[in-house]
């Protein structure tokens, strides 16, 4: 009788631990199985995307069918269908480059590299956006969770989610899909600025 009770307690404990583990994993950024890898090529020249601008603050309102014509399929899936790239597949996940991260859909400045940190969640993480208008916050109650979705403040594309488990000074973790990010190194930006100034 004693061994049966002990066995039942162990089974109950294992079930409870399994439930806790699943809950903790679900609390992290959710993900779907998209065909992505760190070396995926993306059209960063934005030749088909006439709304892409790193200077304009004008809001962009296009239909999903219009977006589908101008965005690469992986960007469209994340940005417009609110998909999620697989964890640890983003070329920006472990990047230590100094510069600025932009929305890959419209060119809106989103994050400075000095706010990026290693969160261990598998997606590029930041503790603060460039400005209060860079990001829009919307409730997301999908997948049985209560989360806060973050969207681009200019084109309303899905970027990822924000969680309250980040480092100081904000205590926030912006967990962002790398597919919807463009990056410009600080030195490249300075060079472009000086070239424009010299014109």
Compute the average pLDDT of residues 88-112.
96
Q: What pLDDT is recorded for position 19?
A: 60
The DSSP code for 138 is E
Tell me the percentage of the chain whose pLDDT exceeds 70.
75
106, pLDDT greater than 50 = yes
Q: What pLDDT is recorded for position 40?
A: 37
191, pLDDT greater than 80 = no
2, pLDDT greater than 60 = no
**How far is the C-alpha of 180 from the C-alpha of 178, rounded, in Å?**
5
Positive or negative: CA dihedral 95, 97, 99, 105: negative
pLDDT in tens, 22-46: 454 444 444 433 334 443 334 445 7
Tell me the percentage of the chain whose pLDDT exceeds 90.
69
**How far is the C-alpha of 100 from the C-alpha of 87, rounded, in Å?**
22
Compute the average pLDDT of residues 125-148.
96
116, pLDDT greater than 90 = yes
pLDDT in tens, 173-189: 999 999 999 999 998 87
Compute the average pLDDT of residues 66-91.
96
Among candidates 6, 75, 5, which has minimal Cα distance to 46? 75
Check if 121 is active-site.
no
Among candidates 147, 30, 26, which has minimal Cα distance to 78? 30
Compute the average pLDDT of residues 154-180.
98
Write down the architecture of domain 31-198 according to CATH: Beta Complex (2.170)
Positive or negative: CA dihedral 68, 71, 75, 80: negative
Q: Which of 29, 106, 152, 175 is catalytic?
A: 175
Mean pLDDT of the chain: 84
pTM recorded for the entire structure: 0.75
> How many CA atoms are closer than 13 Å to the CA of 100, on its beta-carbon side?
17
Q: What pLDDT is recorded for position 190?
A: 72
């Amino acid at each position: 009788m004693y061994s049966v009770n002990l066995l039942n307690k162990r089974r109950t404990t294992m079930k409870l631990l399994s439930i806790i583990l699943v809950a903790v994993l679900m609390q992290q950024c959710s993900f779907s199985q998209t065909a992505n890898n760190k070396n995926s090529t993306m059209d960063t020249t934005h030749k088909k995307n006439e709304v892409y601008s790193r200077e304009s603050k004008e809001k962009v309102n296009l239909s999903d069918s219009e977006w589908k014509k101008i965005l690469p399929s992986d960007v469209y899936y994340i940005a417009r269908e609110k998909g999620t790239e697989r964890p640890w597949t983003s070329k920006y996940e472990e990047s230590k480059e100094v510069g600025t991260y932009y929305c890959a859909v419209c060119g809106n400045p989103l994050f400075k590299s000095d706010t990026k940190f290693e969160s261990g969640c598998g997606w590029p993480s930041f503790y603060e956006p460039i400005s209060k208008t860079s990001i829009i916050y919307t409730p997301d109650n999908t997948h049985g969770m209560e989360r806060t979705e973050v969207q681009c403040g200019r084109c309303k594309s899905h970027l990822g989610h924000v969680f309250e488990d980040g480092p100081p000074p904000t205590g926030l973790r912006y967990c962002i899909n790398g597919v919807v990010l463009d990056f410009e190194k600080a030195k490249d930006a300075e060079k472009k600025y000086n070239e424009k100034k010299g014109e």
